[in-house]
């Protein structure tokens, strides 16, 4: 039997200690922690990546086999030891941070549509998934830490009333990345994929953290960042073609370079957008290989994933990892 066929059993034994996370920042802090918070431990077995594959039209490619992928570390080809496709949201376990932009002037109707779509989306998640809820404008607030009781998320959503102020998108996303240092990694024998979903107009007016630093920290922690662009902001639309213009999140590569993507809301079609996101989360692959024994401590290693079929696009949740000797 090939090793990847035993993934479901061996993942229980080896994955849950893959990434070392430090302490969560105090609730009022949005500054960065040190690089050591996101190191891969030398004593653990696996280096894992979450990968989404599409054709040039954006259609998901769901029939790939282990032999269709090629992983290189520092330019060296690595043998794929474990492989697991995902095809249904109900079988896709997540550690998910929902980050809501509260700086804009949402109408009551639009705010309610947004909340109801979120509630329907979290209801679809499997019983192993954990969610957290944050809001941001001129400050960053954690409304609900990670929980698998999705009713708590709904209750916190209903209590959000304060909209307006400046925008700290990048600081909020950085804060969300730090939250994963205490997020569950395995639940019910299933690995939880770390994901941030930010709902925003895509503009930032007062963040402190550098965008490149945010991307680097998200990559090292293996977190994918997805965005939903709000419909309320007419400057986002090309008035001639009615197509959405690039936002700062697009230009900075925050979503693309973390394996995520942007979804635009038009005509207040929140439900349609969340259905598309559910399909996205359910159309991925987990690839993993054993950590090379020859690696020394405190070394950064670059990762590259390719698909051997021509004409396909690959998005991965990380492009590097850092080895350390710290043990639990």
Q: Are residues 245 and 101 in the same domain?
A: yes
Report the chain's C-alpha Rg in angstroms.
19
Q: Are residues 70 and 205 in the same domain?
A: no
Instruction: For the full predicted model, state whether its pTM sits above 0.75.
Output: yes
The confidence band for 7, taking pLDDT boundaries of 50, 70 and 90, is very low
Residue 178 region, left (φ>0) first, then alpha (ψ -120 to 50), else beta?
A: alpha
pLDDT in tens, 247-282: 777 788 999 999 999 998 876 788 899 999 999 999
| 8 Å CB contact between 62 and 84 | no
Q: Are residues 152 and 192 in the same domain?
A: yes
pLDDT of residue 109: 81
Q: Are residues 159 and 225 in the same domain?
A: yes
Q: Are residues 16 and 129 in the same domain?
A: no
Query: How does the average pLDDT of the chain come out, rounded?
Result: 81
Bridge-based pairing of strands 262-264 and 224-229 is parallel
Q: Are residues 121 and 57 in the same domain?
A: no
Q: Are residues 180 and 75 in the same domain?
A: no
Give the range of the structural domain holding residue 123, as residue numbers without chain letter.
89-281
The confidence band for 231, taking pLDDT boundaries of 50, 70 and 90, is low
- Bridge partners of 315, per DSSP, are 52
Provide the CATH number for the domain around residue 312: 2.60.40
Q: Is the pLDDT of residue 324 over 60?
A: yes
pLDDT in tens, 154-189: 999 999 987 788 889 999 999 999 999 989 888 887
Q: Are residues 47 and 7 in the same domain?
A: yes
* pLDDT higher at 203 or 321: 321
pLDDT in tens, 11-45: 333 333 333 332 222 223 333 344 444 555 544 56
pLDDT of residue 53: 97
Q: Are residues 277 and 312 in the same domain?
A: no
pLDDT of residue 5: 43
Provide the CATH number for the domain around residue 263: 3.40.50.410
Q: Are residues 108 and 175 in the same domain?
A: yes
pLDDT in tens, 96-130: 999 999 987 667 788 888 899 999 999 988 888 99
Q: Are residues 124 and 216 in the same domain?
A: yes
Q: Is the pLDDT of residue 90 over 50?
A: yes
The confidence band for 327, taking pLDDT boundaries of 50, 70 and 90, is very low
Who's near 319: CB < 8 A, 6+ residues apart? 219, 257, 302, 303, 304
pLDDT of residue 126: 86
Instruction: Compute the distance between CA of residue 4 and CA of residue 157 in angstroms, rounded to an integer.
Output: 41
Overall number of domains in the chain: 2
């Amino acid at each position: 039997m090939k090793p990847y066929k035993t993934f479901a059993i061996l993942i229980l034994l080896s994955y849950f200690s893959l990434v070392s996370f430090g302490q969560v920042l105090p609730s009022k802090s949005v500054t960065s922690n040190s690089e050591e918070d996101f190191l891969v431990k030398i004593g653990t077995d696996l280096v894992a990546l979450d990968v989404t594959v599409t054709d040039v039209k954006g259609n998901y490619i769901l029939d790939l086999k282990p032999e269709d992928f090629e992983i290189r570390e520092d330019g060296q080809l690595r043998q794929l030891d474990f492989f697991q496709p995902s095809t249904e949201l109900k079988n896709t376990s997540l550690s998910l941070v929902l980050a809501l932009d509260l700086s804009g002037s949402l109408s009551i109707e639009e705010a309610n549509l947004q909340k109801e779509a979120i509630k329907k989306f979290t209801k679809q998640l499997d019983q192993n998934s954990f969610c957290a809820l944050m809001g941001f404008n001129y400050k960053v607030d954690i409304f609900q830490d990670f929980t698998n009781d999705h009713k708590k998320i709904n209750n916190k959503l209903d209590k959000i009333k304060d909209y307006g102020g400046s925008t700290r998108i990048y600081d909020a996303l950085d804060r969300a990345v730090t939250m994963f240092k205490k997020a569950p990694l395995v639940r019910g024998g299933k690995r939880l994929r770390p994901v941030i979903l930010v709902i925003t107009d895509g503009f930032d007016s007062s963040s402190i953290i550098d965008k490149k630093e945010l991307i680097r920290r998200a990559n090292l922690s293996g977190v994918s960042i997805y965005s939903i662009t709000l419909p309320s902001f007419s400057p986002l639309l090309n008035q001639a073609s009615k197509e959405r213009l690039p936002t700062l999140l697009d230009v900075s590569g925050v979503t693309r370079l973390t394996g995520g993507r942007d979804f635009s809301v038009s005509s207040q079609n929140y439900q349609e957008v969340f259905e598309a996101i559910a399909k996205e989360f359910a159309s991925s692959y987990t690839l993993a290989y054993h950590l090379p024994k020859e690696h020394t401590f405190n070394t950064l290693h670059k990762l590259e994933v390719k698909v051997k079929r021509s004409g396909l696009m690959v998005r991965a949740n990380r492009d590097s990892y850092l080895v350390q000797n710290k043990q639990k």
